[in-house]
Structure 1
């Protein structure tokens, strides 16, 4: 696995042929921006910092500079991080920017919504640390490297597509049902007063990966639907095909 070979965010940045990263932090609280900045430094990042306290200043930042990493606070004064994420994704120059959502509360529904919308990861402010920042950054860059490698490997695309399609059509729906039931059960247990703090914390640790896996399966299903629609649009009508193509299609 890539995580066994890349242990430092700087090594990941170097593998992308860039030693200094442009990092943008969106948070309406200056203290929280300073906290993220401090953890990024301690995690080993060499970066140029850009800060925004609201969506308007965030827009100015992404209009003027191409970003590598973008930390988005979900809870802003009058907006939320998803509004900023939409702006980021609408910018052609920011197509390679890696967004990471930061939330004040450990809620799986926000996490799933953020990752469905395109975030590479999400962190709660309570769990922010050098280690969690490092892991999130490494995972995000590893995902970019993996996607890039898959895009360049034309020979393996068909086999990968078949495998993903098989998963989505066979066990995918059943797994999503199991995950949804598990998440509902976990939330019910966590709301019970009889459980100890340690047990509730353990249940919280189960809830996050279940939510991430549910979002991943949902993303696969969405990609297959997009691919199916694209293939349908690119297929010429029967009347426009050449005689040879029509014969081949029948065979």
Structure 2
């Protein structure tokens, strides 16, 4: 069962479940200790390798993932790929940290979906707290109801354009339309409604069985 994420807005604040990937034990301990003093309801877990990160993500859902760029078994972008491939964690907020503060690397991290990039030498309680809050805020905004509705509509329209999906819906839609025809006939006290059934049969051809995805035009 997928564990519920805690980044969604709720009436009561919940603890933020975070994961830190860094192959340097000193840096892992330092960042974890720093996170304990931020005054935030955050629980920071840490792993040293991409393999242990992937294992942890198979078992747990995280709201926030911090990844080091330079790793013994890969790099931070490989870590981001693991996050995206995880059904439990693909919606987690991400922050990249690195001892290399090159502008090009920071830009690449942001383009890859990270909310922030923190050079290790500049990490302080203030900068870490600010980055965490901004990352979580950005993630919450992505789940705005209006945006979710718009994405759902786009997904539905894409599905309806798929021939196999449309054909799978045909029996359900035909049954619903037949029931509607019978209901109309009963309301109008008509014994027969063959003309309505005949009209429905016009939808048997594939080129007639389509969906209007734009505004209806008046005849």
**Range of TM-score over shorter length:** 0.5 to 0.7
Residue 119 of structure 1 is aligned with which of 114, 117, 130? 114
Alpha-carbon spacing, 1:19–1:243, altered in 2? closer, same or farther (3 Å): closer
Distance 1:231 1:76, change over 3 A: same
Query: Which aligned pairs between 1:158-177 and structure 2 lie closer than 5 A?
Result: none
- TM-superposed deviation, 1:112: 2.0
1:23–1:50 Cα contact (<8 Å) kept? yes
CA contact (8 A) 1:27 1:54 kept: yes
Equivalent residue number for residue 82 of structure 2: 87
Q: Quote how far apart the aligned CAs of 1:89 are.
A: 0.9
Q: Do the aligned partners of residues 72 and 235 (structure 1) sit closer, same or farther apart at CA in structure 2, a change above 3 Å counting?
A: same
Q: Provide the C-alpha distance between the structure 1 equivalents of 2:210 and 2:30, rounded to a whole number of angstroms.
A: 67
Contact 1:50 1:61 in 2 (8 A): no
Match among 125, 132, 154 for residue 130 of structure 1: 125
Question: Equivalent residue of 1:132, what SS?
Answer: helix
Question: Which one of 135, 142, 149 corresponds to residue 137 of structure 2?
Answer: 142
Deviation at 1:148, TM superposition (A): 1.8
Q: State how far apart, in whole Å, the 1-side matches of 2:63 and 2:95 are.
A: 11
Taking the TM superposition and a 5 Å limit, the aligned residue runs for 1:201-240 are: 235=161, 240=207
Q: CA deviation at 1:102?
A: 0.4
**Alignment size in residue pairs:** 167
How far did residue 74 of structure 1 move? 0.4
**CA 1:22–1:230 in structure 2 vs 1: closer, same or farther (change >3 Å)?**
same
RMSD: 3.4
Per-residue deviation, residues 17-69 of structure 1 (Å, max 9, x unmatched): 55222211100101101111122122112333321111111111111111111
The answer to whether structure 1 residue 35 and structure 2 residue 30 are counterparts is yes
Matched, 1:106 2:101: yes
Other-structure match for 1:215: none
More helix by share: 1
Q: Cα offset for 1:151?
A: 3.6
TM-score normalised according to structure 2 size: 0.63
Name the SS of the counterpart of 1:240 in structure 2. Answer: coil
**Matching residue of 1:66:** 61
Please say which structure displays the higher CA radius of gyration. 2
* TM-score, normalised via structure 1 length: 0.56
Preserved contact between residue 97 and residue 117 of structure 2 (Cα < 8 Å)? yes
Provide the C-alpha distance between the structure 2 equivalents of 1:88 and 1:153, rounded to a whole number of angstroms: 21
Runs (4+) of structure 1 exceeding 6 A deviation are 229-233
**Structure 2 gap segments, 5+ residues each:** 1-5, 164-205
- The 1:58/1:250 distance shift into structure 2, 3 A limit, reads same
Q: Which runs of 5+ in 1 are unaligned?
A: 1-11, 159-226
Deviation at 1:113, TM superposition (A): 1.7
8 Å CA contact 1:26, 1:51 repeated in 2:
yes
Following superposition, the deviation at residue 96 of structure 1 comes to 3.0
